Structure 1
């Protein structure tokens, strides 16, 4: 056995897996559930001043009522670009202009649209699971590379620890998906 002891940075693997969960939560927040949410506009970017800019950097997003989102565009010349970006975002919302304020009434979701959104949520969850498994694979490769510097028992212990971490985070993804799908299907 070699002099140097193998040490796997479990905290780093955990931090990276938490990053996948954070990205999943952001994607879930952008899914429309029939209730107004400022987060549903987060993925929208606007062609502003020669570059793609997040919508929340060209105006103030508010939720004055449960079924209404408003965007108060700061620069009058940007109103048309913001309206166009919202129309083309695929959210299924029809913007209404009132000066520099764009009103977005959130319609009731029909059954077909709810089912479609649950499928989109499932896709987001699968991307998160893949990200978690990629981190797991990276950890397992680190263990494999360090096998010369540890006993078989240590290698098994590290592998078990990485697998346990992976199972825990996949469980979080599954639970988050289940919660989001229930929220979407709620009438």
Structure 2
């Protein structure tokens, strides 16, 4: 093998036809473009793989610690048991829950039921007031139309004397109809 490698430069010089010729007989360039290997363009899967990676990361970041916490609470702390309440002690709202996780959530995350009840009462009061004023406004409008009255707190294009005459005629006609 080594001998063949050493003879290669000598063979090249023997096979070269003339010094003006650029290529030797051994260096013939041939292009075979008919091979079956093709570069197929496919859409990228970067977003899908990134989504899967993020999903697995956040599952491990959130669900695994929560599972460990729940397991710890159920194995070592356990559910609460009923006992007598000492005299003079009033239990808090969160102390009525059996599970330690529910007690913690009721204490630090959720609103107290009394606050929610007061907030809903306030909302009902505000809505009742709004309904009262809307009904009063409608009643005023209907009475103004029935009595041909006008509002005096803003500009009215009609002349006051004409409105008063119409009101007097209506009252006069009602008296005439009432007398017959």
TM beyond 0.5: no
- Greater per-residue strand proportion: 1
Larger radius of gyration: 2
Q: What range describes the TM-score normalised by the shorter chain of this pair?
A: under 0.3
Larger RCO of the pair (alpha carbons < 8 Å, separation 6+): 1
The normalised TM-score by structure 1 is 0.23
The normalised TM-score by structure 2 is 0.24
